[in-house]
Amino acid sequence: MRIMLTKKLLFSLILAFFLVSLCMSVSGAVAKEPTTLQKSPFVTAEIKNIDYDEVYGTGMVKNGSEVSIKVVLTNISKEIDKSTLIFYSELVGAKGLIMEEGLKSGSPYTLEHKEVEEEVVVIWSGAAPEVRKRTSYLLLNITQETPEGEYLVVDIKRDVTSEISESAIIAIDEAREKLNSANWTIANATEKGIDVSEADTTFETASLYFKDAEEAYWDEWPKESIAAATNASYYAELAKQKAESAVGAKKHLSYGGLAVVAIIAIVVIVFLNRARRRKRGVY
């Protein structure tokens, strides 16, 4: 029994590590490393607005939607004569406008510091990329090259996603919760010495489907990911039910045993009472 308990606890720890790893990967792997450039001391960027269609309930950019950005540059230092602004974006067909001059991703623009007014307006637009999983994209990045070095002016990133991708994430999250619940029920029953081998087998099936769901998501097959996650939820729930049934059967057996013992005790008491009465001559 001690060996069975140790194996079960080890399995539970492995599953917990696997589920936590997935959760961290889904939420963290989409982010890209932030820029290491320092903020420019020669200009201040104020993001006036960022417009795009959202995937309902997420606040994230809907894939394929039009994105428009307005940035206002203020506090333009007169300590330097000029600097070069570099514009970069991962939007599809990205284009912009500054001081009536057209821009595109990779475009440089020479900013004459002593000739500009108090503020300079940058307009930027493009389409969000088509995606099959949640991914972070750079909507607009502006860097500034000066005689003092290169600096960051503004860096705008957003998660781009699709409705089916979010449905896949929701399905995976639901499956994870049911796996955790089933795992707890099975482990708890095992600790009590109850045979839950059938539940274990079903749980392993659920775990395999869960792994398929995770792999399909990262391989950008959200429809297949949803199907696998749905199966994982079904078998996880079934495994929990089997474990609960085993626990219930054990309780019924225990209650039945107690009832038999009680009946035997009553019979013995009645028999002894009758035996005493016979000895006294009382019938």
pLDDT at 276 exceeding the cut of 90:
no
In this prediction, residue 253 carries a pLDDT of: 45
At 137, give phi and psi (nearest 5°): -125, 150
Q: Is residue 62 over pLDDT 90?
A: yes
The identity of residue 195, as a single letter, is D
pLDDT surpasses 50 at 5: no
* 255 pLDDT more than 70: no
Query: Could you tell me the pLDDT band of residue 252, with boundaries at 50, 70 and 90?
Result: very low
Give per-residue pLDDT as tens, 7-28: 444 445 445 444 444 444 443 3
The predicted structure's pLDDT at residue 196: 86
pTM score, two decimals?
0.72
Mean pLDDT of 204-229: 97
| Domain layout of the chain by residue ranges | 2-27+165-269, 31-161
Least trusted range by pLDDT, from 53-62, 226-235, 271-280: 271-280
Share of residues in the chain with pLDDT > 70 (%): 75
Domain 31-161, what architecture?
Sandwich (2.60)
What's residue 278's pLDDT? 59
What mean pLDDT do residues 116-140 have? Answer: 95
Span of 171-180, 187-196, 215-224, 254-263 with lowest mean pLDDT: 254-263
**What's the pLDDT score for residue 263?**
57
pLDDT mean over 93-99: 96
Q: Give the CA radius of gyration of the chain.
A: 34
CA dihedral defined by 15, 18, 24, 26, rounded to 10 degrees?
A: -110
**With helix as H, strand as E and coil as C, how does the chain read?**
CHHHHHHHHHHHHHHHHHHHHHHHHHHHCCCCCCCCCCECCCCEEEEEEEECCECCCCCCEECCCEEEEEEEEECCCCCCCEEEEEEECCCEEEEEEECCEEEECCCEEEEECCCCCCCEEEEEEEECCCCCCCEEEEEEEEEEEECCEEEEEEEEEEEEECHHHHHHHHHHHHHHHHHHHHHHHHHHHHHCCCCCHHHHHHHHHHHHHHHHHHHHHHCCCHHHHHHHHHHHHHHHHHHHHHHHHHHHHHHHHHHHHHHHHHHHHHHHHHHHHHHHHHHHCCC
Q: What is the predicted pLDDT for the residue at 240?
A: 93
Question: Could you give phi then psi for residue 147, rounded to 5 degrees?
Answer: -60, -20
Cα gap 149→190, rounded to integer Å: 65
On the question of pLDDT at 3 being above 80, the answer is no
CATH architecture classification, 2-27+165-269? Up-down Bundle (1.20)
Q: What does the pLDDT look like over 149-205, one tens digit per residue?
A: 999 999 999 999 999 999 999 999 999 999 999 999 999 888 888 888 899 999 999
Q: What is the mean pLDDT of the chain?
A: 83
* Statement: residue 270 has pLDDT above 80: no
The pLDDT of residue 264 is 60
Query: What pLDDT sits at residue 248?
Result: 62
